[in-house]
Amino acid sequence: MTAPLAIVTGGSRGLGLETARQLGTRGYRLVIAAKDKKRLAAAEVALKAEGLDVQSKVLDMASLKSITAFGKFAATLGPIDVLANVAGILTESMRDGVLGADDKDVAETLTINALGPWRLCKVIAPHLATNARIVNVSSGMGALTGMGEAFFGYRASKAALNVLTRVLSKELAPRGIMVNSVCPGWVKTDMGGPNATRTVAEGAAGIIWAATLAAGGPSNGFFRDGQPVAW
């Protein structure tokens, strides 16, 4: 029996790399994708050294051309059981607030964090297995309930990603495909910084939970540590 296949974006480091590692240790074949070719190759070598079945493919979430090419590559893989949209950026600062945020930073954040996953889902969906799982890594910063200050681009991008989860889950439900958003919490990554309260392993755990849900499990939800959180 062929092992299930998982695609993990942002898989060259941090939360994406740890998500891939944890899926690999559960017997999944892996495709890790990221923009930085050198770092991605190093991540592939590291995972293979742990005995995992992994290949890497360069993917720029800001480039429609790159995403389209990735979709053609994905078509050669056979049925895809998991798509984990982990890649994301946060370039704004609290100091800039909303009105002082750079236009280019906000536009790039929206493109990579929201349009990128949408475009990727479009090219991957035809190749998803029945009862596949899509996990969109969101953030509590994108929740409308309790919305905080500053970081307009990042908050808007994650709110948009949650919208993608809601509408896509309904469209793919007839195929038994589950689509959920996951907030990993404040994680010690390049984005989260050294003062974050969670390790990458702890942050990835909720993603793994959503990626490995049994058939008939919850879909169309927003979760942290496997528990529903407010939109």
Q: How far is CA 43 from the centre of its chain?
A: 17
pLDDT at 154: 98
**Beta-carbon contacts of residue 182 (< 8 Å; ≥ 6 apart):** 135, 136, 137, 138, 206, 207, 209, 210, 222, 223, 224
In a 10 Å sphere around its CB, with 0-12 CB exposed, 13-18 middle and 19+ buried, how is residue 157 labelled? buried
**For residues 105, 111, 116 and 119, what is the CA-based torsion angle, rounded to 10 degrees?**
-170
How many domains in the chain? 1
User: One digit per residue, pLDDT tens: the chain, 231 residues?
Assistant: 799 999 999 999 999 999 999 999 999 999 999 999 999 999 999 999 999 999 999 999 999 999 999 999 999 999 999 999 999 999 999 999 999 999 999 999 999 999 999 999 999 999 999 999 999 999 999 999 989 999 999 999 999 999 999 999 999 999 999 999 999 998 988 888 888 889 999 999 999 999 999 989 999 999 999 999 999
Marked catalytic residue, from 154, 209, 222, 223: 154
- CA–CA gap between residue 176 and residue 155 (Å, rounded): 30
In a 10 Å sphere around its CB, with 0-12 CB exposed, 13-18 middle and 19+ buried, how is residue 44 labelled? buried
pLDDT at 101: 97
The widest CA-to-CA distance across the chain, in whole angstroms, is 55
Name the token pair of 131.
Answer: 């009862």
- Which range of residues forms the domain containing residue 88? 5-228
Is residue 154 among the annotated active site residues? yes
Question: Domain holding 53: CATH number?
Answer: 3.40.50.720
